[in-house]
């Protein structure tokens, strides 16, 4: 039996409708409108596309979006000054600096400069540290979205063996930690892993986040596994595909995410969720709103 296709697009639509309702409730009761400041440096087409999608999603949810564009020649000092401005602006609840940045700018320094209370990307070391010890924090959006997708299947994560292929700071490491926090047993695989298939075939939940088109075929997957494909790769034909050979693996998995339309829509959705939560935190501190 072919796998059930898990539509991130459909789940994202449901969650965004809920977020929109909560944004409206917050604004009605407290006059606080959740606000996201986005800084875009340079003219990278992919970054411009991502930012445009984020702005559209904010607009649809009732979240105010502030976009500042700068040439790739901006200095690190100038960029940090703009971040400081938004850190100090009480009307701004989330700050996002679109990555990647030009080579002359230290990305880690930029991430660390954003207030942890407005770090809706979930990349600041303070939020990463809180995530590690399972304290409330802004969670990185793609891993957060992946966990929400798995939970939407109404399958217990506790006790499941999760194998994560990839160890990036943005996806691989944090998604493993989030699932560990849900009482899964987690194994990380990467470019130095020997006999990859022998490990991935043990997975109840297999997460592919390595950036190699169609790397994972049926020989890597246990019968009935849940397969989450985080990869977004463009073939020579221009068509997008994931890290998983979808057509082959769907015949062996119980659930599988497509590319596109899988994990991607959930990433922006969780960015909206984090921005809303930041605004709710402000309202709670002002004792003007009860979540």
Residue-wise pLDDT for 145-162, tens only, equals: 999 999 999 999 999 999
Q: Tell me, what's the pLDDT at 78?
A: 98
Residues 83 and 149 in one domain: no
CATH classification of the domain holding 82? 3.40.50.10860
Question: Mean pLDDT score of the chain, rounded to an integer?
Answer: 96
The number of folded domains in the chain is 2
Question: Containing domain of residue 104, as a range?
Answer: 33-115
Fill in the DSSP letter of residue 7: -
Residue 225 lies in a domain: yes
CATH number of the domain encompassing residue 213? 3.40.50.720
Question: Do residues 85 and 175 both lie within one domain?
Answer: no
Predicted confidence at residue 236, as pLDDT, reads: 86
Q: Of 15, 22, 118, 121, which is the active-site residue?
A: 121
pLDDT in the model for residue 156: 96
> Within this chain, do residues 146 and 255 fall inside the same structural domain, yes or no?
yes
| Residue 111 shares a structural domain with residue 163 | no
Question: Do 102 and 156 belong to one domain?
Answer: no
Active site residue 98: yes
Two structure tokens written together for 84:
């400081």
Whether 123 maps to a domain, the answer reads no
Residues 172 and 244 in one domain: yes
> Residues 15, 22, 64, 98: which is the catalytic one?
98
Q: Is residue 166 part of an annotated ligand binding site?
A: yes
In a domain, 48, yes or no: yes
**Cβ partners under 8 Å of residue 252, min gap 6:** 3, 218, 221, 222, 223, 224, 225
8 A C-beta contact, residue 38 and residue 96? yes
173, 259: one domain: yes
**60 sits in which H/E element:** helix 45-61
Whether 66 is in a domain gets the answer yes
- Residue-wise pLDDT for 254-263, tens only, equals 999 999 999 9
Q: Cα separations (Å) of 2 from 182, 215, 250, 253, 255?
A: 27, 20, 6, 7, 9
Residue 279 falls inside a structural domain: no
16 a known binding residue? Answer: no
Model confidence at 273: pLDDT above 60:
yes
Please confirm, yes or no, whether 121 is among the known catalytic residues: yes
Q: Are strands 240-241 and 233-234 parallel, antiparallel or unpaired?
A: antiparallel
Are 65 and 149 in the same domain? no
**pLDDT tens for each residue of 11-45:** 999 999 999 999 999 999 999 999 999 999 999 99
Mean pLDDT of 126-153: 98
Q: Is the pLDDT of residue 277 over 80?
A: yes
Tokens representing 128 are 């990463």
Active site residue 56: no
Same domain, 145 and 255: yes
Task: Tell whether 230 is in a known binding site.
Answer: no
Q: Is the pTM of this model over 0.75?
A: yes
| Residue 275 is assigned to a structural domain of this protein | no
Would 63 be classed as within a structural domain?
A: yes
């Amino acid at each position: 039996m072919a796998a059930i296709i898990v539509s991130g697009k459909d789940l994202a639509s449901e969650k965004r409708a809920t977020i929109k309702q909560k944004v409206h409730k917050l604004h009605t009761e407290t006059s606080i409108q959740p606000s996201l400041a986005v800084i875009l440096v340079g003219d990278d087409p992919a970054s411009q596309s991502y930012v445009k999608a984020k702005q559209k999603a904010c607009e649809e949810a009732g979240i105010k979006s502030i976009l500042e564009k700068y040439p790739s020649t901006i200095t690190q000092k100038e960029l940090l000054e703009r971040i400081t401005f938004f850190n100090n602006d009480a009307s701004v609840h989330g700050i996002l600096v679109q990555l990647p940045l030009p080579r002359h700018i230290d990305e880690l320094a930029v991430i660390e400069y954003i207030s942890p209370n407005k770090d809706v990307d979930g990349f600041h070391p303070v939020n990463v540290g809180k995530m590690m010890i399972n304290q409330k924090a802004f969670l990185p959006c793609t891993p957060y979205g992946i966990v929400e997708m798995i939970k939407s299947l109404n399958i217990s994560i506790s006790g499941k063996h999760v194998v994560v292929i990839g160890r990036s700071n943005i996806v691989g490491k944090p998604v493993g930690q989030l699932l560990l926090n849900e009482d899964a047993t987690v194994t990380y695989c990467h470019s130095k892993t020997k006999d990859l298939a022998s490990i991935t075939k043990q997975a109840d939940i297999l997460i592919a986040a390595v950036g190699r088109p169609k790397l994972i075929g049926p020989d890597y997957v246990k019968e009935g596994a849940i397969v989450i494909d985080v990869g977004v790769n463009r073939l020579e034909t221009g068509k997008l595909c994931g890290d998983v050979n979808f057509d082959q693996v769907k015949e062996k998995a119980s659930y599988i995410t497509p590319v596109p339309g899988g994990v991607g829509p959930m990433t922006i959705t969780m960015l909206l969720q984090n921005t809303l939560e930041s605004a709710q935190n402000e309202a709670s501190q002002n004792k003007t709103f009860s979540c």
